[in-house]
Amino acid sequence: MNENIQKASIGDLLRLYGNILDELRARKVLRSTNNPLGDYTEHLVSTALGLKRTGGSASGYDAIDAEGKRYQIKGRRLTLQNPSTQLSAIRNLPARPFDVLAAVMYRTDFGVDYAALVPFEIIVERSRFQQHTNSFRFMMDRKILSDPRVTDITSRLAV
């Protein structure tokens, strides 16, 4: 398959990518046609933890558990070109829009490298406000797994 991909034209690759996104939407893995990593991460975490994904109207969280705990779910693909562990912007942190951050860090091949449930308090402690984006920046480095308040869920997400 890699051989075929390497020989394909740019147009063919983009069409294949579009077809893959359409098929993942049809299978209810993705909910949008944006970068699939976010939707895939929400699907993966929600399925593994038995969470109910929220609709687009829920501000600041992506899923909820049976007890009503709110989860913001974020993923990041680590590559040689960009090994940064910075997650996407966290908005409105002072309003406490979620209770737990579920973060998944992927290898280049989209396999789960490590993942954790990080309580809101740790996000507040370790995040830095970015005025130019009016959001908070959180680095999901592997060291966070050693914090006893953090729950390592890596093995629960193996696919």
pLDDT value of residue 42: 95
Structural contact between residues 97 and 70, judged by C-beta atoms closer than 8 angstroms:
yes
Beta-strand (E) ranges in the chain?
52-53, 63-64, 70-77, 100-106, 112-119, 128-130, 135-137, 151-152
Q: Regarding predicted confidence, which is higher, 151 or 4? A: 151
pLDDT in tens, 103-140: 999 998 888 999 999 999 999 999 999 999 999 999 99
CB-CB neighbours of 104 under 10 Å = 26
pLDDT at 159 over 70: no
List the chain domain ranges.
1-30, 36-157
pLDDT value of residue 148: 98
pLDDT at 26 over 80: yes
Global pTM reads 0.88
CB-CB neighbours of 21 under 10 Å = 18
Q: How far is CA 43 from the centre of its chain?
A: 9
pLDDT value of residue 4: 86
Calculate mean pLDDT across residues 93-102: 98
CATH of region 36-157, choose from 1.10.3470, 3.40.1350, 3.30.70, 3.40.50? 3.40.1350
Torsion sign over Cα 122, 34, 42, 157: negative
pLDDT in tens, 41-91: 999 999 999 999 998 768 899 999 999 999 999 999 999 999 999 999 999
The pLDDT-based confidence of 1 (bands split at 50, 70, 90) is low
Helices (H) and strands (E) in the chain, counts: 4, 8
pLDDT value of residue 32: 77
Bridging pattern class, strands 128-130 and 52-53: unpaired
pLDDT at 154 over 80: yes
What is the rounded CA–CA span in Å between residue 6 and residue 77?
22
Say whether 130 sits in a helix, a strand or coil: strand
Gyration radius from the chain CA atoms: 17
